[in-house]
Amino acid sequence: MALSQAKIKSLRLTAKDQIIRDSKSLYLHVRAGEIGAKVIRGAWLLRTTRDGKTRKATIGHLNTMSVEAARRERDRLTGGGTSLAMTVGEAVEEYRRLVTDKLKSGRQSEGYLTHLTVRMGQRKIASVMRGDLVCLIKEYAKDGGARTADRYLSQLRGVFNLAVESGVIDQSPLLGVSKRITGYVATPRERVLADDEIRELFTWHGPKASLLRFLLLTGLRLNEARKGHREGDRWIVPAEISKNKKSHWVYITHLAAEQLKDDLSVGTSEAAAWVKRQQTTDTPYTPHDCRRSAATLMAANCDPFTVERVLNHTLAGVMAVYNRAEYEQPRIDAAIALEATVISIITKDQKTKETLNVVP
């Protein structure tokens, strides 16, 4: 018989836990206590069966949720005729529409989202338990490795967090799941270009090579170089494409300007794949390593604050609050010094020197 508020008020504690059925998979779990005392606390449980296995989930508590409210929550979670009974596949489509479709890098998410749709697309998102997703992530790690599993976890988090924001579920099943599940341990990348690699870079031809050289000579991020624009002797990075959402500029030296003769708006994945193919080493550098190399070369001749300004890093602590200096001339001097360092490296090789027609 279904529970009512009157019947709940008549319940009494016993020496053992009680699981009291209401209707349609809804139960009230009452803990053991002082025999004969009134029941004032309990948990509403939703029991579901899938693939022959029974699963239980707490959907509320007696002191904050009436039996009528518990039934409404049960119907919402199980798809009892409400519009909020979204499937995982529908949640993925919503995530694409609101998130990944608006990102230039959205294509990188597609494989992960497709995998989730294939495996769980027809399930009600509210029925997905933490264990379901943990098993999925571990399988992904086994097949694709820890790093890709970590990216998969990130995409799953995005899908279920959006469902929380949309009011479809009250809590993400991935809450409390960490990188330990994937086995991935992030290590800071420290790769910088060796002198021989810098010389080799200046012998390559085409827009992709020019883009990489421009990164090395300016310290810009890849997208800042691809999407920024020139104004006189400065390269302007608008706030909307800047990582810290602050507009930025770098000084364009003569050698950096030479790289702008090519169209630098090549695709990010295309540039990364191209530079990897150009190298034969076991530890190839990436476009972003050109930026790190620029910072390393600048640091030999510039103070740390100027380097941070050239890189458009956000200063920390008191400096972030009080230091609003633009460091205009020091930044220009840093760019010129960086160019001089790069030229001194590449002109050590006569062939490269003749190719570039530069004077040390």
What are 79-135's pLDDT values in tens digits?
654 434 688 999 999 899 888 887 766 677 889 999 999 999 998 888 889 999 999
Round to whole Å and give the CA distance between 84 and 125: 10
Give the whole-number percent of the chain exceeding pLDDT 90. Answer: 48
pLDDT for residue 183 is more than 90: no
C-alpha dihedral, 150 to 153 to 158 to 159, nearest 10°: 150
Domain boundary among 78, 105, 136: 78
234 and 336: one domain? yes
Q: Give me the phi and psi of 13, to 5 degrees please.
A: -70, 150
CATH code for the domain of 174: 1.10.150
* Residue 190 in domain: no
Which pLDDT band holds residue 169 (cuts at 50, 70, 90)?
confident
The answer on 99 and 13 residing in a single domain is: no
Tell the residue number behind the tokens 């030999």, with chain if given: 300
How far is Cα 204 from Cα 268, in angstroms, rounded to an integer? 18
Query: Given a cut of 60, is residue 317 above it in pLDDT?
Result: no
Q: Residue with structure tokens 């200096």?
A: 325
Domain that holds residue 301: 195-356
CATH number of 25's domain: 3.30.160.390
Amino acid at 162: L
Residue 353 banded pLDDT, cuts 50, 70, 90: low
List, in sequence order, every beta strand (DSSP E) within 31-109. Answer: 43-50, 53-61
Find where tokens 């570039």 sit: 356
223 and 146 in a common domain: no
66-82: per-residue pLDDT in tens?
888 888 888 777 765 44
pLDDT at 205: 93
Asked if 295 and 307 touch (Cβ cutoff 8 Å), the reply is: yes
What tens digit of pLDDT does each residue of 139-159 get? 988 888 888 999 999 999 999
Q: Is residue 303 one of the residues assigned to a domain?
A: yes
Domains contained in the chain, number: 3
CATH number for the domain spanning 233: value is 1.10.443.10
In this prediction, residue 48 carries a pLDDT of 74
Judge if pTM exceeds 0.85. Answer: no
Q: Which two tokens stand for residue 210?
A: 């020019």
Residue 103 makes CB contacts below 8 A (sequence gap 6+) with 109
> What would the DSSP string read from start to end of 264-315?
----HHHHHHHHHHH--SSS---HHHHHHHHHHHHHTTS-HHHHHHHHTPPP
Q: Show which of 122, 147, 181 is a domain's final residue.
A: 181
Average pLDDT, rounded, for the chain:
86
Between the two ends of the chain, the Cα-to-Cα distance in Å is 92
Neighbours of 23 (CB within 10 A): 12
